[in-house]
Amino acid sequence: MESIAGRSAPLTWALNLSIIAIVILWVFPTAGLLISSFRDRDQIATSGWWSALFDSKQNIIVRSQPLKDAIKDGDYYVLTDNIFKENEGQVLAFGVSSIKPDAFKPNSSVDHRSMEVEVTNNGDYIIKSKTKMESKRGIRLFITTIEPPKFTVENYKKVLFSEGIGRSFLNTLTVTIPATIIPILVAAFAAYALAWMKFPGRALLITIIVGLLVVPLQMALIPLLKLHNTIGIGKAYLGIWLAHTGFGLPLAIFLLRNYMIGLPREIIESSKVDGATDFQIFIRIILPLSFPALASFAIFQFLWVWNDLLVATVFLGNSEDQLVMTGRLRELLGSKGGDWEILATSAFVSVAVPIVVFFMMQKYFVRGLLAGSVK
């Protein structure tokens, strides 16, 4: 029989293609969000993020200066200005009616309401009339223009210092860090006991923990909130820490037990022969060896708590001093649904921390997930 040692699996190419596809699907939206967070509102509305480095074609509406400000120049009253103000741009076409916004080429003179209107290639407009114009309003000019790429940090200044995201960022950290550390500590002790300590009912506890993995957390929201109100916790940080701890413990115990039970038995037995207690074995041997599994669950729990909205709304509320990032983004989406630059910037600020945490600990991720799956 031909040896198959050293031969790659026949579907390795399919696995590699799947990984590449997943990476692309994950990286491209993130890159688009980052680029959009530095663009202004008009560019986001008129072109995609992939064209951010190129000139963009835009249709804008500009109202001229009040017609009464026209200055007499010879036989005409003349009003001049530039539609781009301090910015640079190039006019491709213009119009004086919304029906045909690109009816005329630049440098053309157009008759409009007993006035002559001209828009030059560089954005200068000239409005002339033989009679004095009394209107306090200007006329609308419909401009088709080419604008160069523009990037700005004003979106971040507005989000971090004007929209309350900075406060919500700190609130989210206040919720996420304890809600990640507490279940890890509790689950580590429980996993060691279920993996290496013999006591009555251990198999039943393991079965219950596995069963809790499939129980929807929504079933426990109202009863748990009533319990918090009864014992006086109410809607406070302590309540949401305990809630996330309870919801995260089944998965944490399951992952850590699977990892710990796969550690070499000889290490545990030799330590007991040398007189080490279970606590000493747990602290000095099990925890250091279980770091990949601990890091794997930490990533799961951190991402879950950071991106959570439901539990935060139920157990923390929506007051200004307690509103988390997801709640703040929900408010921005409701009140400023057209301000895409603010939403893009806010969303990237929200996902930046989970991305950093994932890349810092991703080398332990697969090792922790696969722990205990094979012997």
Interval 227-238: pLDDT, tens: 888 888 878 899
Q: For 29-49, what is the mean pLDDT? A: 81
- What confidence score (pLDDT) does residue 373 get? 45
Lowest mean pLDDT among 19-28, 45-54, 184-193, 229-238: 45-54
- What confidence score (pLDDT) does residue 338 get? 60
- What confidence score (pLDDT) does residue 241 get? 93
pTM recorded for the entire structure = 0.67
Look at residue 180 and tell me whether its pLDDT is greater than 90.
yes
Name the pLDDT band for 58 (thresholds 50, 70, 90): confident
- The amino acid occupying position 54 is F
Task: Quote the CA–CA distance of 93 and 121 in Å, as a whole number.
Answer: 9
| Residue 104 DSSP label | B
Beta carbons within 10 angstroms of residue 212's beta carbon: 16
Model confidence over 134-172: pLDDT tens digits?
Answer: 888 889 999 888 877 878 888 888 777 766 777 888 889
Express the helix, strand and coil content of the chain in percent, nearest 5 each. 55, 15, 30
Average pLDDT, the chain: 83
CATH architecture type of domain 56-147: Sandwich (2.60)
Beta carbons within 10 angstroms of residue 51's beta carbon: 14
Model confidence over 208-221: pLDDT tens digits?
Answer: 888 888 888 888 88
If we measure between CA atoms, which residue out of 148, 9, 135 comes closest to residue 67? 135
Model confidence over 65-101: pLDDT tens digits?
Answer: 888 888 888 888 999 988 887 667 788 899 988 888 8
Beta carbons within 10 angstroms of residue 64's beta carbon: 20
Q: Determine the straight-line distance between the first and last CA of the chain, rounded to whole angstroms.
A: 26
Q: What percent of the chain has pLDDT over 90?
A: 12
- What confidence score (pLDDT) does residue 367 get? 59
Q: What percent of the chain has pLDDT over 70?
A: 90
Look at residue 292 and tell me whether its pLDDT is greater than 50.
yes
Residues 238, 242, 247, 252: is their CA dihedral positive or negative?
positive
- What confidence score (pLDDT) does residue 184 get? 92
Look at residue 263 and tell me whether its pLDDT is greater than 70.
yes
Please provide the CATH number assigned to the domain covering 156-370: 1.10.3720.10
Name the pLDDT band for 29 (thresholds 50, 70, 90): confident
Secondary structure (H, E, C), 38-102: CCCHHHHHHCCHHHCCCCEEEEEEEECCCHHHCEEECCEEEEEEECCCCCCCEEEEEECCCCCCC
- The amino acid occupying position 162 is S
Look at residue 181 and tell me whether its pLDDT is greater than 90.
yes
Ordered by start, the domain boundaries in the chain are 12-51, 56-147, 156-370
Take residue 270 and report the two structure tokens written for it. 């030799």
- What confidence score (pLDDT) does residue 347 get? 78
Phi/psi-derived region of residue 234, left when phi > 0, alpha when psi is between -120 and 50, beta in every other case: left
Model confidence over 358-374: pLDDT tens digits?
Answer: 777 766 665 555 554 44
